[in-house]
Amino acid sequence: MAISRSKLYLILTLSGWLSMMAIEVLNYTFFIVGHFEWNFVWSFGYYALLGISLMHVFRFFVKRSTVFDWRPREIWLLAVLATILISAVINLLSTIPYLFTEPQNIASMFSFIVIFGGTLNSMRYIGVWIIIYFLYQILERSRQLKEAKLESESIARSMELELLKSQLNPHFLFNALNSIKALVSIDQEKCKDAIVKLSELLRFTLQSGNQTLIPLSDEMEEVKKYLSLEKIRFGERFQFILQMDEQAGYQMVPPGIVLTLAENAIKHGITKTPGFSQLNLSASHDNNTLKIEMVNPGILEKSEGTGLGVINIERRLAHIFPDHAQFAIQQIEAGVKATIIIKK
């Protein structure tokens, strides 16, 4: 069971001051006076009690201030000043018992050299306590700030990811409706079939909206529906081939990411290519690496590499698989090739 910070503080404080008391009693017994006296115990016990009390009061006010939000130089300046002041106070208070036991020595006890020397002596213990306490608080504050920064970055990342996902549905819907619009005056039966497929695709995008990752096999099934929808629109002049090995189908990908690739290929490649066009989509998994490739005819345009669909893919991969995913789109002899690589 973990110890609370208050209990830990109490244990360490008591241990520290009792250790000081023991060290000083042993020092006086063996090295200064040469024999044991109970006065040593009472005297240093009273000193330890003063130390515990004063440091607890100091801690009380420090905890309720904004000291550790200051600049480092200001924090350590306060530490030095507090060490001097508390050491002077504890040194003066420690002489109170002698007012009753040794009244004849009062004048000498309050001389400058005695007060100065006693203050310096007290600074050994007070200074160590304050340094340890301030270092702990500074490190704790730094840890809290790092955690807060990580949490804010995580929230910002999640919000941006949700924004990217919310952009996906309207983008997809716009392209799909354009396909159906072209069928209304051409073939009403095909138009009905297209509407059914569109409803299934919309159901998929809505159901997967709350998911960060889905199996690639589910994603490919929806891509197949989308390409079938586009085939109704383009007829015999459009053909698509989908290939996926079994292991690749089990891999997790962001929902709609391959669908966005297909939309991009249709919009910038198939639509602008006269005559017969073929789209090839493949997915393979080897050596803990998932590779998805899509090749379509056409010429890579500058706008295609900086469009909403491409930016959406890049940012989602960067958010979900930081440093473990790559996306590239390039011109090749057969047309335009888009590649997604995810390393697990």
Give pLDDT tens digits for 36-73: 888 888 888 999 999 999 999 999 999 888 888 888 89
What phi and psi values does residue 332 have, to the nearest 5 degrees? -125, 180
**pLDDT at 156 (0 to 100):** 55
Position 176 scores a pLDDT of 64
**pLDDT tens column, 86-130:** 999 998 888 877 777 776 666 666 777 888 888 898 898 899 999
> What percent of the chain is predicted at pLDDT more than 70?
85
- Strand 238-244 and strand 277-286: the pairing is parallel
The residue type of 333 is E
Asked if the model's pLDDT at residue 285 lies above 90, the reply is yes
Give the chain's radius of gyration (CA, Å). Answer: 38
Q: Is the pLDDT of residue 152 over 50?
A: yes
Q: Which residue has the higher pLDDT, 226 or 306?
A: 226
**Geometric angle at alpha carbon 210, from 205 and 158, rounded to 5°:** 120
pLDDT at 167: 47
Q: Which among 225, 304, 288 has a CA at the least distance from the CA of 252?
A: 288
CA angle at 225 for the pair 224 and 229, rounded to the nearest 5°: 115
At residue 27, does pLDDT exceed 70? yes
The secondary structure of residue 344, as a DSSP letter, is -
Could you tell me the pTM of the whole model?
0.52
Asked if the model's pLDDT at residue 154 lies above 70, the reply is no
What's the one-letter identity of residue 243?
Q
Does 32 score more than 50 pLDDT? Answer: yes
So what's the pLDDT on residue 252? 94
Give CA–CA dist 227/239, Å, rounded. 9
Residue 171 has pLDDT above 60, yes or no: no
Burial letters for 181-209: b for 16+ Cβ neighbours within 10 Å, e otherwise? eebeeeeeebbeebeebbeebeebbeebe
Determine the average pLDDT of the residues in 124-144: 90
CA distance 25 to 51: 16
pLDDT at 209: 61
Secondary structure class of 66 (helix, strand, coil)? coil
Across the range 239-258, mean pLDDT stands at 92
- The pLDDT of 289-298, averaged and rounded, is 94
Q: Dihedral of the CA atoms 305, 309, 312, 313 (nearest 10)?
A: -70
Q: Which of 91-100, 115-124, 159-168, 169-178 is least confident?
A: 159-168
* CA–CA–CA angle 203, 292, 165 (5° rounding): 35
Helices 188-207 and 112-184 pack at an angle, to 10 degrees, of 170
pLDDT at 7 over 80: yes
Q: What are the residue boundaries of the structural domains of the chain, listed by start?
A: 5-150, 156-343
Measured between alpha carbons, how far is 257 from 273 in angstroms, rounded to an integer? 24
Residue type, 57: V
pLDDT in tens, 78-88: 999 999 999 99
Architecture of domain 156-343: 2-Layer Sandwich (3.30)
Higher pLDDT, 33 or 166: 33
- Is residue 296 within 8 A of residue 265, CB to CB? The reply is yes
DSSP secondary structure letter of residue 32: I
Distance CA 215, CA 252 (A): 4
Q: Where are the alpha helices (DSSP H) in the chain?
A: 5-27, 38-63, 72-93, 96-101, 106-109, 112-184, 188-207, 216-234, 246-249, 257-265, 302-305, 308-320
- Give me the percent of the chain exceeding a pLDDT of 90: 28
pLDDT attached to residue 130: 92
Q: With beta carbons less than 8 A apart as the criterion, state whether 235 and 277 touch.
A: no
Please give the Cα distance from 135 to 3 (Å, whole number). 20
